[in-house]
Amino acid sequence: DTEVTQTPKHLVMGMTNKKSLKCEQHMGHRAMYWYKQKAKKPPELMFVYSYEKLSINESVPSRFSPECPNSSLLNLHLHALQPEDSALYLCASSQDWEQGQPQHFGDGTRLSIL
Amino acid sequence: RKEVEQDPGPFNVPEGATVAFNCTYSNSASQSFFWYRQDCRKEPKLLMSVYSSGNEDGRFTAQLNRASQYISLLIRDSKLSDSATYLCVVNFNKFYFGSGTKLNVKP
């Protein structure tokens, strides 16, 4: 069982919908990440939160909006997505952002945009 | 030049074989190194961290060569269940992923 929990597992939405992806970890990790992964490609970093503050935004379009309500939770708010945004969205956490500790991934949300 | 490069494979090997993957990285100041495995349509799972002195976990051995800027993963006595994509990950301010090496272990 993964120690990083993501919901929902699958999401189908239209281009005008608004939805949110959720991620939770209870390992006491202080860094959390959102990745996007397309088929047969490695994960691509989207956002990094360290101690609940946004540390990195990899020039992600504003239709993706991250939020870190507390040290255990990470959300990704979605609005007006495009078909090319269909992908597996992975959340990860690590002990600390700067120390380079390994990341632990959730099992992802498979997103389909109609 | 990509920060992390891997041979995409696939590596097709029979059960019981020994197989090795290499991964090169471009930034000599990289600090941490990892191997992950990813099964089809699943999340990456940490296989092992890689240390300068080399480290072993059962059938898996990881090595780091800082002078030549590469890390390696050796799998001995391959099992069918080892079939997966193996991702090399290097940390320098953020995590850089290789494109992954696909391993198929055949009966």
Q: Which parts of chain B sit beneath pLDDT 70? A: none
Q: Can you tell me which residue has the tokens 């970890």?
A: A25
Distance CA A70, CA B33 (A): 28
Q: Is the CA virtual torsion B27, B28, B34, B38 positive or negative?
A: positive
Q: Do residue B43 and residue A108 have CB atoms under 8 angstroms apart? A: yes
Q: Do residue B34 and residue A42 have CB atoms under 8 angstroms apart? A: no
Cis peptide before A61 (omega within 30 of 0): no
**Residue pLDDT tens, chain A, 114 long:** 569 999 999 999 999 999 999 999 999 999 999 999 999 999 999 999 999 999 999 999 999 999 999 999 999 999 999 999 999 999 999 998 777 889 999 999 999 999
Contacts of A102 in chain B (CB under 8 A): 32, 34, 46, 49
Distance CA A114, CA A110 (A): 13
Distance CA B101, CA A29 (A): 29
Name the average pLDDT for chain B.
95
Report the residue from B32, B42, B97 with minimal CB separation from A100: B32
Report the residue from B42, B44, B94 with minimal CB separation from A56: B94
Sheet with strand B55-57: strands edge to edge? B4-6, B19-25, B70-75, B60-65, B55-57
Q: What is the structure's pLDDT at B2?
A: 85
Report the residue from B46, B91, B97 with minimal CB separation from A104: B46
Q: What is the structure's pLDDT at A1?
A: 52
Q: What is the structure's pLDDT at A97?
A: 79
